[in-house]
C-alpha cells in the first residue's frame, strides 16, 4: 500500500453556489451588493438602500420580518443589522443604521454606489402568518422601529389579512423620530399611529412621556375582547419591552403572543462564535425574535 | 472493531512508515518547569525519538491544528470601487496526530457536534478535521484529571487507531481502513487471551489512579437552581479575567472577527481570533453596554456553557475533564472545586 494520505478538498465544493444552512460553502459566502441610496433620517441614523447586484441572487434572497443580515465592508468590519424593508422586495433591502462604532461610522461616510457584502438572512422572525385574522399591536422605542418597519410593510402589503393594526412609537425627543416621511402613508393604509416623545421641543404638539402612557390610554379605550385577539411585537431597549410586555400580560395577552427582538454582540450569525449567547441560547439562531415567554425563561435575558 | 497486538519495537517502524510521506504532529517535551518536571506540547515531529509517548498532559491542547488562535477567514482584493473576496480554509495537506489521549479525541468529537453539525457547519474546522488521521495512545491519570467523571476517559470513535501499552506488546484498536493499511507495514498479530487479560489489567489499574472527581448528577438542574448563588461571586473575586483557561482548553471555540486593510490599501483581511468569555468585552456592544460586566458573571457563563448549555443541546457536557484550565489558572480555579462548591459540597 502507498502510505501517503489522500487530501480531502472541500474548497472545491465551495465553488458551487448553494446556500442551504447545511452546506459548508454557505459559511463565508457573501452576496455582493451595492448601496443604491442613502437617506439621512436623523443626525445619528441613515437609511441605506442596498441591492444585491446579481439579479438571480437578489430574487432568491428571501427573508421574513424580524430577521437580520450581516453587512460587511471589506477591511472595515462586519456587523448584524435588522432588515427594515418589505419582504416582498427580496434582496433589495433597506437598513436603518445608527452610528455606533467602527463600521457604522465608516458607513455614514461612504457614498452611493459603494459595494458591500451581505450574508444571511439569519435568525428567527415575527410569525406574521400566524397573526392573520387578528389585531396587531406594534410597540417601538427608539431604534426599535427599524426591525418593526419590516413588519409594518408586511401589514401594508397584506392589509386585508389583519384586523386593527396599531403602532405605538416612542422617541427621546422629536429630532430623533425615524421615518417621519412615512407616517402619512401608514395612516393612509389604515394603520393607527401614536407617537410620544419624552423630551418635547417648542414645536412638539403631540403627547409627552413614555410609550406606556399611550398604552394605558389604549387600555381605557378598548375592551378586553380586543386584546384577546391581539398579537404584539415590541422592539426597543430591554427595560422598555419588559414594562410593555408586563402591562400587556395584565390585559390577558398570553406571553406566547408577544414578540420581542434581543440585541447581543454578534461575530458570525451562525451559532459558532458564541458572542451572542444569552445563558445557553444563541441569539443569532434561536433569536433575535423570541416570544416573551421564552425570554422570561432565559437566564440573563433582561 | 478490529484488534491487533504488536511487539514494542514495531512502533517505530509504524511511525517511520507514516512519516515517510506525511506530516506528523505529536507530543514533545519543550521545556522543564521549576521543579524539573517536563512540559509537553504538540508540535510537528520528524523523528520517532522526538515523540514522548508517555507524556502527561500538554499545557495547551492540540487545537492550534484545528482551531488556530488566529486564522484568516477571507482575503479581499480591492480595486477602484469594487472588491473580490477569496475564501481559504487554510489547509493544504492531510496530517497525522500521533499520540492523542482519549480526552483530546473526545474533545474533537464534541467540537464536531457544534462545528460540523447540520446548521451552518464551519468549513475552516471541517477541512482540517477531515484531513487528520489520529493515532490515539493510552495515558496515566494525573492528579488534576477528571475525564472519568465526564465520561471522556475512553474514546469510542473519532480516531483511526488507538494504541495501549500492555507491557511487552502494544494493543491496538483499529477503526479505519487507512489505519488497517498502515499496519500492514509492520508485523502484527491477532491478540490471544493473555493479551486481553493484560489489556483489562491495564484498564483497571488506570481506573484506580483517578483522584479528582466531579459529580455530574443532575448538574444541569443544579446549575439552574444555583444561578444566583453567592459561590459564583467568591470565584469571581479570585478570577483574574485573563482567559488562560479558554486558551488551554481543548473544547473552547468562541471567537471574534476583525477586518484589517493591508498597508498598500490594495487588499484586506477578515481574521478570526479565538476569544475567551472571561475577557471583559466578550459581551460588550457598540455604545458601551456590557451584558456581562462582572468577572463572576463571565466565569459563571463559561461553566454554564460547558456544563449546562451544551448538555441541553447535545446530551453531553462540553468539558472532557482534562484539567488543563485548572492547571493554567493563576488563581487556582479548577473545575472539580467550582462544581463541588456550586453543589454545596465542602472540599
Ligand atoms: C439582531 C441585531 C439587529 C440589529 N439591528 C440593527 C439595526 O437595524 N440598526 C442599527 O443601527 N443597529 C443594529 N444592531 C446593532 C449593530 O449591530 C451595532 O450597532 C453594530 O454592530 C456596531 O458595529 P460597529 O462596528 O460600528 O461598532 P464597534 O463597537 O466598532 O463593534 C465592533 C464589532 O463588535 C460587534 N458588535 C458591537 N456592537 C454590537 C451590537 N450592538 N450588536 C451586535 N454586534 C455588535 C460587531 O461584530 C461589530 O462589528 C443590531 C444588532 C443585532 C444583534
Ligand atoms: S473546561 Fe477545563 S477540564 Fe474541561 S475540557 Fe476545558 S480545559 Fe479541560
Ligand atoms: S478562571 Fe483562571 S484562567 Fe480562567 S480567566 Fe479566571 S483567572 Fe484566568
Ligand atoms: S453571532 Fe456567533 S454564535 Fe451567534
Could you say which of A98, A122, A146 is where a domain stops?
A: A122
Distance separating alpha carbons of residues A143 and B129, to the nearest angstrom: 42
For residue range A93-117, what is the model confidence (pLDDT) as tens digits? 999 999 999 999 999 999 999 999 9
pLDDT at residue A19, as a whole number: 55
Calculate how far, in angstroms, residue B343's C-alpha sits from the geometric centre of ligand 2.
19
- Indicate the top mutation candidate among A66, A79, A286 to test ligand 1's pocket, ranked by most ligand atoms within 8 A of CB: A79
Taking only Cα atoms into account, the Rg of chain A, rounded to an integer number of angstroms, comes to 21
| Residues of chain A neighbouring B130 (CB-CB closer than 8 A) | 8, 10
- Asked if A153 contacts A124 with a C-beta cutoff of 8 angstroms, the reply is no
- Asked if A7 contacts B94 with a C-beta cutoff of 8 angstroms, the reply is yes
- Asked if B123 contacts B132 with a C-beta cutoff of 8 angstroms, the reply is no
Report whether pLDDT(B269) > 60. yes
For chain A, what is the mean pLDDT? 91
Per DSSP, the residues of A92-159 read: EEEEEEE--SHHHHHHTT--TT-EEEEEEEES----GGGGTTSEEEEEEEGGGHHHHHHHHHHHHHTG
- Indicate whether A210 and A243 sit together in one domain: yes
- E-assigned strands of chain A? 31-40, 45-52, 68-73, 77-82, 92-98, 115-122, 135-141, 165-171, 192-197, 230-235, 258-261, 277-278, 281-282, 289-291
Which domain, by its residues, includes B43? Answer: 2-208
Report whether pLDDT(A18) > 60. no
* A13 in a structural domain: no
Which domain, by its residues, includes A51? Answer: 25-122
pLDDT at residue B31, as a whole number: 93
For residue range A48-103, what is the model confidence (pLDDT) as tens digits? 999 999 999 999 899 999 999 999 999 999 999 999 999 999 999 999 999 999 99
Average pLDDT over residues B76-96: 92
Cell numbers placing A154: 408586511
Rounded to the nearest angstrom, the gap between the alpha carbon of residue A27 and the centroid of all alpha carbons in its chain is 22
Q: What is the model's pTM?
A: 0.91
Per DSSP, the residues of B173-218 read: EE-SHHHHHHGGGS--BPPPHHHHHHHHHHHHHHHHT-------TT
- Asked if B299 contacts B239 with a C-beta cutoff of 8 angstroms, the reply is yes
Q: Identify the H or E element spanning A218.
A: helix A211-221
Most distant CA pair in chain A, distance: 87
Contact B254 A100 (CB under 8 A): no
Cell numbers placing B331: 488563581
- Asked if B100 contacts B136 with a C-beta cutoff of 8 angstroms, the reply is yes
Calculate how far, in angstroms, residue A208's C-alpha sits from the geometric centre of ligand 1.
29
Distance separating alpha carbons of residues B129 and A217, to the nearest angstrom: 60
* A280 in a structural domain: no
* A143 in a structural domain: yes
Q: How many domains does chain A have?
A: 2
Report whether pLDDT(A299) > 80. no
Task: Please state, for a pLDDT cut of 90, what percent of chain A lies above it.
Answer: 75
Q: How confident is the model at residue A10 (pLDDT cuts 50, 70, 90)?
A: low
CA distance A98 to chain B (A): 10
- Indicate whether A177 and A228 sit together in one domain: yes
Calculate how far, in angstroms, residue B67's C-alpha sits from the geometric centre of ligand 1.
25
- Indicate whether B10 and B51 sit together in one domain: yes
- Please, which residues have CB within 8 angstroms of residue A113's CB and are 6 or more apart in sequence? A34, A35, A36, B81
Q: Read off the CATH number of the domain in which A70 is found.
A: 2.40.30.10
- Cα torsion at B93, B97, B102, B108 (round to 10°)? -20
Q: Read off the CATH number of the domain in which A162 is found.
A: 3.40.50.80
Report whether pLDDT(A9) > 80. no
- Indicate whether B16 and B38 sit together in one domain: yes
Report whether pLDDT(A14) > 70. no
Distance separating alpha carbons of residues B240 and B244, to the nearest angstrom: 10
- Indicate whether A141 and A253 sit together in one domain: yes
Q: How many domains does chain B have?
A: 2
- Indicate whether B52 and B127 sit together in one domain: yes
Report whether pLDDT(B225) > 50. yes
Residues 214-243 of B with CB under 8 A from A: 224, 227
For residue range B107-123, what is the model confidence (pLDDT) as tens digits? 999 999 999 987 899 99
pLDDT at residue B346, as a whole number: 65
Tell whether A130 is within 8 A of chain B (Cβ). Answer: no
| CA distance readout (Å), A7 to A4, A197, B92, B95, B112 | 9, 63, 8, 9, 19
Distance separating alpha carbons of residues B88 and A267, to the nearest angstrom: 18
- Indicate whether B185 and B249 sit together in one domain: no
* B347 in a structural domain: no
Cell numbers placing A68: 437580520
pLDDT at residue A301, as a whole number: 61
- Indicate whether B190 and B137 sit together in one domain: yes
- Indicate whether B193 and B251 sit together in one domain: no
Q: How confident is the model at residue A224 (pLDDT cuts 50, 70, 90)?
A: confident
* A14 in a structural domain: no
- Indicate whether A115 and A228 sit together in one domain: no
Chain B interface, best mutation among A20, A103, A275, by max B CB count within 10 A: A275
Strand bridging mode B70-78 / B161-165: unpaired
Average pLDDT over residues A233-251: 89
* B317 in a structural domain: yes
- Indicate whether A111 and A132 sit together in one domain: no
pLDDT at residue B312, as a whole number: 86
* A3 in a structural domain: no
**Listed residue (B210, B101, B198, B211) closest to B154, CA to CA:** B101
Average pLDDT over residues B208-237: 91
Burial class of residue A273, CB neighbours in 10 A (0-12, 13-18, 19+): buried
pLDDT at residue A22, as a whole number: 76
| CA distance readout (Å), A290 to A123, A149, A276, B91, B303 | 10, 17, 14, 39, 24
Ligand 2 atom at minimum distance from B324 CA? 7
- Indicate whether B8 and B156 sit together in one domain: yes
Contact A27 B121 (CB under 8 A): yes
For residue range A133-192, what is the model confidence (pLDDT) as tens digits? 999 999 999 999 999 999 999 999 999 999 999 999 999 999 999 999 999 999 999 999
pLDDT at residue A11, as a whole number: 61
* A1 in a structural domain: no
Cell numbers placing A282: 444563541
pLDDT at residue A158, as a whole number: 94
Amino acid at each position: 500500500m502507498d502510505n501517503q494520505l489522500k487530501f480531502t478538498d472541500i474548497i472545491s465544493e465551495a465553488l458551487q453556489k448553494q446556500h442551504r444552512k447545511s452546506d459548508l460553502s454557505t459559511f463565508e459566502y457573501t452576496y455582493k451588493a451595492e448601496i443604491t441610496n442613502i437617506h439621512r433620517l436623523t443626525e445619528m441614523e441613515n437609511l441605506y438602500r442596498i441591492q444585491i447586484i446579481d439579479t438571480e441572487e437578489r430574487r432568491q434572497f428571501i427573508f421574513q420580518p424580524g430577521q437580520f443580515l450581516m453587512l460587511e465592508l471589506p477591511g472595515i468590519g462586519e456587523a448584524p443589522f435588522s432588515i427594515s424593508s418589505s419582504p416582498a422586495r427580496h434582496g433589495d433591502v433597506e437598513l436603518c443604521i445608527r452610528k455606533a462604532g467602527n463600521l457604522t461610522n465608516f458607513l455614514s461616510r461612504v457614498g452611493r454606489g459603494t459595494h458591500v457584502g451581505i450574508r444571511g438572512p439569519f435568525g428567527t422572525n415575527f410569525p406574521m402568518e400566524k397573526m392573520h385574522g387578528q389585531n396587531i399591536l406594534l410597540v417601538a422605542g427608539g431604534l426599535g422601529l427599524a426591525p418593526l418597519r419590516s413588519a409594518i410593510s408586511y401589514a401594508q402589503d397584506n392589509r386585508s389579512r389583519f384586523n386593527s393594526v396599531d403602532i405605538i412609537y416612542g422617541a427621546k425627543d422629536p429630532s430623533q423620530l425615524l421615518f417621519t416621511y412615512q407616517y402619512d402613508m401608514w395612516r393612509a393604509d389604515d394603520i393607527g399611529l401614536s407617537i410620544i416623545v419624552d423630551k418635547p421641543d417648542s414645536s412638539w404638539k403631540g403627547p409627552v412621556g413614555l410609550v406606556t402612557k399611550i398604552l394605558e390610554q389604549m387600555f381605557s379605550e378598548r375592551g378586553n375582547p380586543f386584546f384577546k385577539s391581539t398579537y404584539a411585537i415590541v422592539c426597543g431597549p430591554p427595560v422598555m419591552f419588559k414594562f410593555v410586555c408586563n402591562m400587556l400580560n395584565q390585559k390577558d395577552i398570553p406571553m406566547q403572543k408577544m414578540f420581542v427582538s434581543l440585541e447581543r454582540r454578534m461575530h458570525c450569525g451562525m451559532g459558532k462564535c458564541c458572542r451572542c449567547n444569552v445563558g445557553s441560547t444563541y441569539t443569532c439562531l434561536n433569536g433575535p425574535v423570541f416570544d416573551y415567554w421564552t425570554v422570561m425563561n432565559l437566564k440573563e435575558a433582561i | 472493531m478490529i484488534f491487533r497486538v504488536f511487539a514494542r519495537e514495531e512502533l517505530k517502524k509504524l511511525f517511520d512508515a507514516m512519516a515517510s510521506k506525511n506530516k506528523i504532529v505529536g507530543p514533545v517535551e519543550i521545556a522543564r518547569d521549576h521543579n524539573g518536571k517536563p512540559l509537553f506540547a504538540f508540535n510537528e515531529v520528524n523523528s520517532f525519538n522526538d515523540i514522548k509517548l508517555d507524556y502527561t498532559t500538554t499545557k495547551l491542547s492540540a487545537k492550534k491544528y484545528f482551531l488556530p488562535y488566529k486564522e484568516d477567514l477571507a482575503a479581499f482584493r480591492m480595486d477602484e470601487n469594487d472588491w473580490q473576496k477569496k475564501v481559504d480554509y487554510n489547509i493544504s495537506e492531510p496530517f497525522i496526530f500521533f499520540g492523542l489521549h482519549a480526552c483530546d479525541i473526545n474533545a474533537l468529537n464534541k467540537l464536531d457536534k457544534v462545528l460540523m453539525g447540520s446548521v451552518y457547519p464551519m468549513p475552516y474546522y471541517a477541512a482540517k478535521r477531515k484531513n487528520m488521521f489520529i493515532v490515539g495512545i493510552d495515558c496515566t491519570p494525573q492528579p488534576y484529571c477528571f475525564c472519568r467523571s465526564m465520561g471522556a476517559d475512553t474514546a469510542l470513535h473519532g480516531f483511526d487507531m488507538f494504541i495501549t501499552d500492555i507491557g511487552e506488546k502494544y494493543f491496538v484498536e483499529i477503526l479505519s481502513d487507512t489505519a488497517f493499511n498502515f499496519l500492514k507495514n509492520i508485523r502484527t498479530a491477532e491478540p490471544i487471551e493473555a493479551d486481553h487479560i493484560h489489556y483489562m489489567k491495564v484498564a483497571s489499574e488506570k481506573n484506580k489512579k483517578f483522584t479528582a472527581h466531579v459529580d455530574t448528577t443532575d448538574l444541569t438542574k443544579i446549575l439552574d437552581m444555583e444561578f444566583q448563588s453567592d459561590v459564583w461571586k467568591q470565584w469571581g473575586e479570585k478570577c483574574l479575567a485573563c482567559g488562560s483557561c479558554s486558551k488551554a482548553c481543548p473544547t473552547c471555540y468562541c471567537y471574534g472577527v476583525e477586518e484589517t486593510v493591508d498597508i498598500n490599501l490594495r487588499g484586506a483581511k477578515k481574521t478570526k481570533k479565538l476569544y475567551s468569555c472571561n475577557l471583559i468585552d466578550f459581551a460588550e456592544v457598540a455604545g458601551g453596554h456590557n451584558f456581562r460586566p462582572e468577572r463572576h458573571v463571565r466565569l459563571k457563563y463559561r461553566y454554564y456553557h460547558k456544563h449546562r448549555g451544551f448538555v441541553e443541546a447535545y446530551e453531553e457536557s462540553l468539558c472532557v475533564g482534562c484539567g488543563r484550565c485548572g492547571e493554567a489558572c493563576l488563581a487556582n480555579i479548577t473545575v472539580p472545586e467550582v462544581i463541588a462548591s456550586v453543589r454545596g459540597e465542602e472540599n
